[in-house]
């Protein structure tokens, strides 16, 4: 009635809420798969199980892309949350980039097949776990931005904590690699992989910083 | 109806049009400006409820203005309306947030002075007191609602999208209430001076429903306000929504609600009678300024947030307007009455 279309307004709202929740679930799930991919690669190299996991990440990435587009269209077509629309879309786009970074790492492992000596395995797995924990904390920050603005700060603080942890672990591993007896080209190749995994945390911290600003804007 | 009567009524209709063009933005400005509610939706709801408010609850404030000075000739009422319109235009051009309420009171006093009629000082003091109280009460109410809403939202943990849907609905409902209150409270400014000399006669439909001459005048005034809403308020709404009241939609809802309650309080015969019945002082039924109620509400929220965002210059300008505008309107009214009587040979009083 009167152009407000209240029934469809609440219907669209529920659908979008579900889609956004589903999107954040995907970010979290991709992280969990990535956490298993790295040890699988280190132990069995790029075998069938590894490729199966990479394929799963690819599928989840496509699904996330579709959701982002759907949410974007609905938000603009129905002129929903006009005051926070651009902020919400930016958060979703940047989260999509995190999925892209996970996927990129998987592809690089699959194509370049880096040869990590056994002595670096634990450190690499440890770094990967910290990165995934950082993204998990980011997912909590995103969820609190949508539902409970008061806890954005607490969750964003965890992201910063894991990002610092990741930096320390990256530096330590990179130092170990360059102190080893490997050839320079191999050292640089391994450093490239370690750096690329660590970068996911930098991206997560940038997003959580942005969300904190958006949360201040959203306060009543 | 004679052509001269229509011409004289045009003064009031012009005031009604300008009220619709400007004050509808106080009710729906932020909602439309931030695109939470479509302009078409806002204009339809606003028009319907302004007319309903004017017809159903517009009598109280009109009676108060009548006690201040009862203009008893159409040319006199015409002069008062034109004086009010002109003085509002001049003050608005000077950047003061004034309202027709203050102007029409000044214009009536101008008529009293010109015709030698006495001004009821007691009523005048009540009216002046109400103008000061209006933004203060709006400010206090918006502070109260702000605290309640903030606590509720923190506990309810609504999804941003669901909050958006609820806020749109709330803005529309508060806007409808605001429009009703605006019509009830401010119709006196538009048509009040014509009530004692209404050119209409009562209409009786099926012996059950009496449509009094006063209600017919209020319907006409309400339609003039609605025309103002449809023809000119869109621009004002976008200005209010984007420039003046840069606030969240939830805060905008709080301000509109506080504004609407204040306007309703000063127009509701029912609440006034109820307070009297329980031996409390009754609320004077006085037309108050919609814009100043909104500014009061905004300042109230600003104070709760630490006071940094409060634009005290606006508060100073408002209080300056309380004094300057009635004086200017009285002066212009005096001059127009002189011109009508001495150049056009029209009787401005009997």
* A6: nearest CB among B158, B162, B169: B169
Q: Report percent pLDDT > 70 for chain B.
A: 97
CB of A4 less than 8 A from some CB of B: yes
* B159: nearest CB among A17, A79, A218: A17
Q: What is the pLDDT of residues A49-71, one digit of tens each?
A: 899 999 999 999 999 999 999 99
The average pLDDT across A189-217 equals: 95
Flag if A81 and B160 touch (Cβ within 8 Å).
yes
Cα distances from A171 to residues A129, A149, A158, A195, B180, in angstroms, run 16, 34, 20, 9, 67
| 3-state DSSP percent of chain A in helix, strand and coil, to 5 | 90, 0, 10
CATH number assigned to the domain covering A6-218: 1.20.58.220
Residue A89 pLDDT more than 60?
Answer: yes
pTM over 0.95: no
Residue that is written with structure tokens 């204009």 in the block: B43
- Which residues make beta-bridge pairs with B210? B204
* A220: nearest CB among B37, B168, B250: B250
Domain membership of residue B350 (yes or no) is no
Flag if B159 and A79 touch (Cβ within 8 Å).
no
Residue A220 pLDDT more than 70?
Answer: no
Q: What is the pLDDT of residues B62-87, one digit of tens each?
A: 888 888 888 888 899 999 999 998 88
Mutant choice from A4, A18, A155 vs B, greatest count of B C-beta within 10 A: A4
pLDDT at position B133 is 92
Domain that residue B301 falls in: 3-342
Flag if B161 and A13 touch (Cβ within 8 Å).
yes
Q: What is the pLDDT of residues B185-202, one digit of tens each?
A: 999 989 988 888 888 888
pLDDT at position B66 is 85
Domain membership of residue B337 (yes or no) is yes
Report the chain A residue with the minimal C-alpha distance to residue B31.
A82
Domain membership of residue B349 (yes or no) is no
Which of the four pLDDT bands, split at 50, 70 and 90, describes residue A3?
very low
What lies within 8 Å, CB to CB, of A192 at 6+ separation is A114
* A80: nearest CB among B149, B164, B250: B164
Mean pLDDT, rounded, of chain A: 92
Residue ranges per structural domain of chain A: 6-218
Q: What's the total number of domains in chain B?
A: 1
Which B-chain residues 240-299 have CB contacts (< 8 A) with chain A?
Answer: 248-251
CB atoms within 10 A of CB B197: 18
Q: Report percent pLDDT > 90 for chain A.
A: 80
Q: What is the pLDDT of residues B284-328, one digit of tens each?
A: 899 998 888 988 898 898 888 887 767 777 777 777 877 889 999
Flag if B153 and A220 touch (Cβ within 8 Å).
yes
Domain membership of residue B167 (yes or no) is yes
Q: What is the pLDDT of residues B143-189, one digit of tens each?
A: 999 999 999 998 898 999 999 999 999 999 999 999 999 999 999 98
Flag if A220 and B45 touch (Cβ within 8 Å).
no
- Which residues make beta-bridge pairs with B209? B205
Q: What is the pLDDT of residues A97-148, one digit of tens each?
A: 999 999 999 999 999 999 999 999 999 999 999 999 999 999 999 999 999 8
Residue B346 pLDDT more than 70?
Answer: yes
- How far does B54 lie from chain A, in Å, by closest CA? 22
The overall longest dimension of chain B from CA atoms, in Å, is 69
* A83: nearest CB among B150, B169, B249: B249
Flag if A147 and B150 touch (Cβ within 8 Å).
no
């Amino acid at each position: 009635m009167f152009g407000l279309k209240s029934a469809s307004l609440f219907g669209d709202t529920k659908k979008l809420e579900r889609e956004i929740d589903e999107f954040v679930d995907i970010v979290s799930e991709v992280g969990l798969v990535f956490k298993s991919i790295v040890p699988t690669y280190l132990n069995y190299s790029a075998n069938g199980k590894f490729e199966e996991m990479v394929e799963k990440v690819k599928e989840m990435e496509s699904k996330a892309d579709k959701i982002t587009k759907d949410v974007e269209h609905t938000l603009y077509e129905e002129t929903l949350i006009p005051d926070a629309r651009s902020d919400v879309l930016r958060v979703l786009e940047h989260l999509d980039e995190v999925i892209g970074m996970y996927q990129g790492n998987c592809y690089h492992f699959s194509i370049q097949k880096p040869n990590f000596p056994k002595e670096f395995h634990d450190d690499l797995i440890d770094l990967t776990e910290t990165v995934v924990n950082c993204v998990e904390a980011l997912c909590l920050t995103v969820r609190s931005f949508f539902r409970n603005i008061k806890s954005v700060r607490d969750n964003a603080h965890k992201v910063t904590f894991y990002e610092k942890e990741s930096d320390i672990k990256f530096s330590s591993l990179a130092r170990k690699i360059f102190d080893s007896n490997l050839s320079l080209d191999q050292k640089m190749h391994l450093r490239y992989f370690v750096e690329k995994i660590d970068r996911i945390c930098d991206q997560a911290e940038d997003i959580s910083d942005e969300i904190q600003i958006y949360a201040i804007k959203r306060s009543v | 109806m004679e052509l001269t009567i229509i011409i004289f009524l045009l003064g009031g209709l012009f005031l009604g049009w300008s009220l619709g063009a400007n004050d509808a933005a106080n009710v729906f400005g932020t909602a439309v400006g931030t695109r939470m509610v479509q302009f078409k939706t806002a204009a339809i709801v606003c028009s319907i409820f302004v007319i309903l408010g004017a017809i159903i609850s517009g009598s109280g404030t009109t009676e108060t203005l009548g006690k201040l000075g009862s203009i008893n000739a159409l040319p006199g009422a015409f002069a008062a309306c034109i004086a009010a319109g002109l003085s509002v235009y001049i003050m608005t051009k000077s950047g003061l947030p004034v309202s027709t309420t203050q102007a029409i009171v000044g214009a009536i006093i101008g008529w009293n002075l010109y015709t030698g009629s006495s001004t009821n000082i007691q009523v005048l003091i009540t009216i002046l007191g109400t103008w000061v109280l209006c933004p203060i009460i709006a400010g206090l109410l918006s502070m109260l609602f702000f605290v309640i809403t903030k606590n509720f939202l923190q506990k309810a943990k609504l999804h941003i999208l669901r909050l958006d849907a609820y806020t749109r609905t709330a803005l529309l409902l508060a806007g409808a209430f605001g429009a009703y209150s605006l019509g009830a409270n401010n119709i006196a400014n538009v048509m009040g001076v014509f009530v004692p000399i209404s050119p209409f006669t009562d209409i009786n439909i099926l012996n059950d429903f009496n449509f009094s001459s006063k209600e017919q005048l209020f319907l006409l005034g309400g339609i003039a306000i609605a025309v103002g809403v449809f023809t000119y308020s869109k621009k004002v709404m976008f200005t209010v929504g984007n420039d003046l009241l840069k606030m969240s939609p939830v805060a905008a809802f709080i301000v509109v609600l506080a504004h609407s309650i204040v306007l309703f309080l000063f127009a509701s015969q029912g609440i006034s009678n109820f307070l009297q019945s329980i031996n409390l002082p009754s609320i004077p039924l006085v037309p108050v300024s919609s814009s100043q109620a909104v500014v009061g509400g905004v300042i109230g929220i600003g104070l709760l947030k630490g006071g940094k965002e409060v634009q005290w210059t606006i508060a100073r300008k408002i209080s300056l307007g309380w004094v300057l505008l009635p004086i200017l309107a009285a002066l212009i009214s005096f001059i127009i009455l002189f011109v009508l009587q001495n150049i056009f040979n029209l009787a401005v009083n009997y």
